[in-house]
Amino acid sequence: MTIKKGYAELHSILLANPNKKVKDVLELLMPIMESQQRDKAHYTDEHGLWVFCYYHKQYELTSQVEYGRKVNTVTGLNSMCKVGTNQWTKQQRDYKKAKSDLLDQVNAGTLQVSDLEAEIKKLEEAKDSIKPLIESHHEEALLDVRQQEEVEA
């Protein structure tokens, strides 16, 4: 039996977990399936052009969510919506500032070096968190078949 290239990892996880519930196996498979999904950076359907927002990690309909223009890209648009771009920039900036504040505290002796790692981890979680985009199309985007096809297959 030959396993298709794209399914090899999925196949080996299923083989290694024959007695697990689908729900538990699904948790193992999600990272693989999500990364495949992210390879599709955009697509067009009858609603228009959808871009996979690098910040919000979801498909956004570009007629409903504002995207900045960017030259030399396939879509002519940025890889993050405007709200996402602002939020991403803010989180990066806040992270840098808070991290340098922590180092100042260590230098000043108000923070133990042994606590530094845990504090930085908290900052990283905040930096990598996603503030959801509240838009009318959000539910629609989640219900889109392309969001589900890997799960249902």
- Does residue 53 contact residue 78 with C-beta atoms inside 8 Å? no
Report the amino acid identity of residue 32: I
Residue 35 phi/psi, 5-degree rounding, is -65, -30
* CA 25/CA 76 separation, integer angstroms: 38
Cβ of residue 57: shortest distance to Zn ion, in angstroms? 8
Check binding of 137 to Zn ion (CB under 5 A): no
Q: How far apart are CA 52 and CA 62, in angstroms?
A: 10
CB-closest chain residue to Zn ion = 53
Asked if 141 is part of the footprint of Zn ion (rule: CB under 5 A), the reply reads no
CB of 10 or CB of 80, closer to Zn ion: 80
Work out whether 81 is an interface residue with Zn ion (CB under 5 A).
Answer: yes
Length of the chain: 153
Contact mark string toward Zn ion, 16..55, x via CB under 5 A: -------------------------------------x--
Verify binding: residue 84, Zn ion, rule CB under 5 A. Answer: yes
Query: Which two structure tokens, joined as six digits, stand for 13?
Result: 């996880």
Residues near Zn ion (CB under 5 A) are 53, 56, 81, 84
